[in-house]
Structure 1
Amino acid sequence: MAMPGSTTSCRCMEFEPVIKELWSASIAPSTRRSYSTWFDKYIQFLLFSGLIASVYLPNLPVSESYLIQFVAYCFSSNISYATIKLYIGGVRFMCLEKNIPYPYSQEMPRLHSILNGVKRLQVKKTKSRHPITFHILEKICNYLSNSVHDLMLETVCTVAFFGFLRCGEFTVSGCFDPSIHLCIKDLVIVKDCALLTLKRSKTDPFRHGVVIRLFSTNHPVCPYNTCRKYMDHRMTKKPMPSDPLFVNNEGQVLTRPMFMLKHVLELFRQICRSDMAKSDPDENPYNENGMLQT
């Protein structure tokens, strides 16, 4: 007969994979990667500063005093106030997940004062970022030729502008995943508009999904007509419904670096030379999310 204590222990062990899965799903994968990196930076700081001799997570010291020293280290390394705050948030989350004791916020008044000191001493540097206006979008569309490659770019830029999309919502980071990235089936052409389904976005972390309606503008720059023309071409290749929506001539999925570095930056340099001349010629004054700033 099994002892009651051993039975309870075995039952608890059964839930460990479920608990691990729930922790994994509690934040976005990109946020987890950032938190993990920032937590590692805190551990490296403890090691390099001689505050600990080795790493044993259950006994990792996380106190107000150590966090203050960590903030001072970051400040001395010219890390911005906003980034330092993210570092602290990352350390807190990883401590919670790994069951490492972490002080309550109310128990760290000195840390909050130190962070205020960082904020006051740092002069916020803002880069000049111009919005992608309709006038600029019109120039982009006029500049692009009728080649298949430029049709894809024209469609991307037009849809991003009229759909108020962020760069990460129509490009791919890492490997293509049809469960989260735009697929052929996510763009449907109906009688009076184009329906674009976003499975997830920065403002939809729980992936409820949203349908964006792109109507005709009765103007040469028209999201409906552009989407219809692009989909007509894509259908000639007989793609699967789960295939990537935006691909180049070689069939490669549109990634963020490909969109920004190879395409948009060059377009802006060609079309908006007057704006570029007012700033650093090696710097792009247009943010990749500039489509939002209309």
Structure 2
Amino acid sequence: MPRRASPSHATPCRASPATPNTTCAFAAVAVYHTRRGVALSIRKNEMSKPSPKQSVRNEIEIPEVVKRELLLCIIGLQPLIYNRMSLKAQQTLLFPHKSKRGKDQSEEGIKHNPYEEYRNSFYIASAGPTLMKLPVSAIKNALETAALDTEGVAKSEVGRCIWMGWEDAPVWGNPQLFMTGVRMAGINKTPDIRTRGVLREWATKITLNFAEDKFTVKTISSLLSRAGLLSGIGDFRQEKGAGSFGQFMIVPENDKNYLRIIAKYGREYQTAKYNKPEFFDDESDQLYTWWEKTYTDTFSAKPKHLRTVA
């Protein structure tokens, strides 16, 4: 039997007398030299007929997002401080007033009006079971913050796979006036007095939607419980480090304390305290009483909200 020689380099497809049926439908020809002549070993290319498996196109299957709704009842562990931007401040940003040459010494030019600042700090609902309401985005922000301190949960994943809707949530609670010293933003850190509304006791009910392939009822409940302790909502909240206001916890719908707050601090009660506030602490009482007396002595008239209409 003749010994087979090693193939030479691949050459372009050419017609050959030894292989009269060879055509250019073949990609390459390996030439073998033997004692009897030249033998061709042909390797077929993509022009050959494909196999049935290659002709079937691979399709990507994308699972459908299954959304589940969860109703959660929440009560506050610490007072909730509101810090809504006042309508006057928003109007000034939207349509700035002309600069005045001299300082306005009239009643309209006073630096602070604690009563108006107190009322302007709340989110007010035009209808519903309560006068005060809560932006649900505050709850979602708390969930995202808690995810930063929770192993196995990404903040971006919480933002994409949890929905809170756009409607604000009703908040039951007792409104009180809170005055305290603060440091203004800026290089000089100028001290100032800020007046805000506080709900000493409060409760709310939220509706939350989530993707079932990412979260379960148990993981959502656990994450929201961590958010209530590690983040909180409102001003001076736990997340900021300086204060621990705005902390909350999840309770069942038949919780006695939850039912008590809802039954007592509804829209009627909140409207009365919104118009005639109580004070959160002794310092707030002292500051407000001093401001009211100084206002009366300066302008020889009581503040506008205390004047009776003849």
TM bucket by the smaller chain? under 0.3
Greater share of strand residues, 1 or 2? 2
TM-score w.r.t. the length of structure 2 is 0.23
Q: Which has the higher contact order (CA 8 A, sep 6+)?
A: 2
